[in-house]
Chain A
């Protein structure tokens, strides 16, 4: 059975300790806002392809990981992704080494290439308790569709 969900393990290299400090401040501010004012929550709620998403600083705060479980083919939804959450990535990527040209809205192919290049995904197999259930299916079953 084909699993409809996919893992994203995007590891980005932070330019400098100063960049880490700014990123940490930015993400703390975003993530401490109430959901309806948190641009990441608002975007992902609208997008309905992402099951879970979290941000983790790694390697002594020299890397930032974006770890998600999402539905389907990332390439297919790149335009939808950029349109809903592009500005968050513009803010994050401005602190990263080897970042693609910004804004991502105007450099979509380069952003997609960057994500693919820095996505470690994970060791196969990817486990799912409900391999055929997409976000929209789950929300519908919960009467939240």
Chain B
């Protein structure tokens, strides 16, 4: 059994809060910084009787653990990719060209970040009050210096900046908490997302960093600051009919694999409003091909409904024929919130930055986040029909040099060459989410 009260809640559940503030911090006074960690009310994974007004979670980088006084023997027991840091793993992840670490913001392109304190709040009044309180406790006390604080806000209609509803597909973790949108993939063992339990791989448990009190029930989290070019996306959809012979909304659906209202193409290939309407609980209950779990699925093995190269089908191919032992061994927990104001198509060149503050969680950054990025998002050989292409949203093809292929039943595919870059990495960090015991362990170091 997973002790829910020892696990940071962010790993196990989506908070569903409208506002956030991510503090990017650096240790100023190690003893004081440890004390503040011990005094923060960090949200555990216990079942809520009532949704709280706000939640706080804490993640630390490798340099952060060192700066807080964690012993070398303990630091050595953490995975290499975590120790190396996001700025050293750009080649693995595909952060090249305009996405490379040299151009990241907030100094994230080099060592310096020690901690992320993540505040999620039900509304902006609560966020403002808690931001002030945290700033007082963390910064004014002289414990930490503030590199930056990044606000995030859910947009009207609960959509991300390109207008898609998001966040439906999350693995169901075998820990007793309910998944609001369960899928038909196997339930993930706790060890796929928490240190100290048998993993998704045969007879294998990821090594727990030592001491056990620090490592067990922890997990790893990748922060991604992903800037979205709404004007380019808007222009792409507007020119779709004339340039590529496809309706703009249908192109939007083909890019992601869902219509922008969340209806998956696999269940409704021609309309975002099928009749009879889909229940929200159906939105994640599909497969791309008939499988043991979804035997009556439409056989879309060539992607005539949902392109094999679409964002969703790359990020989680489900039952599709792919290289390797199936899609269920490389799943990831996704949290995140948009930043920047909504895009106004009447002001395409408003110069305002907007995008997504993405958080990607798993027991192994290498086998989950990095595998996903290198093999599925940026890879062109794990599945048929996508050689030489990358993900239309997150792919690392040289700017303007991607190709997006939209297969069609009974006619030639639509091939969009010179597919524009829509998302640019502006920063990333590899962090460790200690357990509640782990945070106490660090707080009590001397």
Residues of A within 8 A of B (CB): 4, 46-49, 71-73, 76-77, 79-80, 82-84, 86, 103, 105-106, 108, 132-137, 139-141, 145
Contact = CB atoms under 8 A, between A and B. Distances in A.
Given A80-B325, A140-B321, 15 more contacts: A4-B381, A47-B323, A47-B324, A71-B381, A72-B323, A76-B375, A77-B324, A79-B325, A80-B329, A82-B204, A83-B325, A105-B202, A140-B302, A140-B385, A141-B384
Contacts of B383: 136
Contact of B384 (A46, A83, A136): A136
A42 to B, nearest CB: 12
Interface in B192-238: 201-204
B367 interface: yes
B132 interface: no
Query: For the side of the interface on B, what is the size category?
Result: 20 to 34
Nearest to B207: A109
B186 to A, nearest CB: 13
B91 to A, nearest CB: 12
Given A72-B381, A76-B374, A132-B387, A105 B201 contact: yes
B162 interface: no
B80 to A, nearest CB: 10
B329 A83 contact: yes
A82 B201 contact: yes
Contact of B375 (A48, A72, A106, A133): A72
B371 interface: yes
A95 to B, nearest CB: 21
B301 A86 contact: no
Contacts, number: 83
A74 to B, nearest CB: 12
The residue in B301, B325, B367, B375 that gathers the most chain A C-beta atoms within 10 A of its C-beta is B325
A75 B61 CA distance: 25
B322 interface: yes
B323 A136 contact: yes
A108 to B, nearest CB: 6
Nearest to B205: A106
A86 B388 CA distance: 32
8 contacts: A4-B381, A4-B387, A72-B375, A83-B202, A136-B322, A140-B302, A140-B384, A145-B301
B382 interface: yes
A135 B325 contact: no
B323 A103 contact: no
Given A71-B381, A136-B384, A77 B323 contact: yes
Interface string B307-335: 00000000000000111110001000000
A48 B301 contact: no
Contacts of A140: 301-302, 321, 384-385
Minimum-distance CB pairs A-B, first 10: A140-B384, A80-B325, A105-B203, A80-B324, A134-B381, A83-B202, A145-B321, A137-B384, A49-B323, A4-B381
Between B203, B321, B379, B381, the greatest number of chain A beta carbons within 10 A of the residue's beta carbon is seen for B381
A133 B383 CA distance: 10
A48 B384 CA distance: 12
A97 B424 CA distance: 50
A84 B324 CA distance: 9
B321 A136 contact: yes
Contacts of B384: 134, 136-137, 139-141, 145
B322 A48 contact: yes
Contacts of B371: 76
Interface string B379-400: 1011111011000000000000
Contacts of A49: 323-324
B325 A136 contact: no
B321 A139 contact: yes
Contacts of B385: 137, 140
A93 to B, nearest CB: 15
A48 B321 contact: yes
B166 to A, nearest CB: 27
A94 B300 CA distance: 44
A137 B325 contact: no
Nearest to B386: A137
B201 to A, nearest CB: 5
A133 B381 CA distance: 8
B75 to A, nearest CB: 18
Given A77-B323, A84-B325, A103 B203 contact: yes
A40 B432 CA distance: 38
Nearest to A132: B387
B174 to A, nearest CB: 18
Given A72-B375, A79-B329, A140-B384, A48 B324 contact: yes
Contacts of A76: 371, 374-375
Contact of B201 (A72, A73, A83, A103): A83
Max chain B C-beta neighbours (<10 A), residue from A76, A77, A134: A76
A105 B206 CA distance: 11
A132 B325 CA distance: 21
Contact of B323 (A48, A83, A86, A108): A48
Nearest to A48: B323
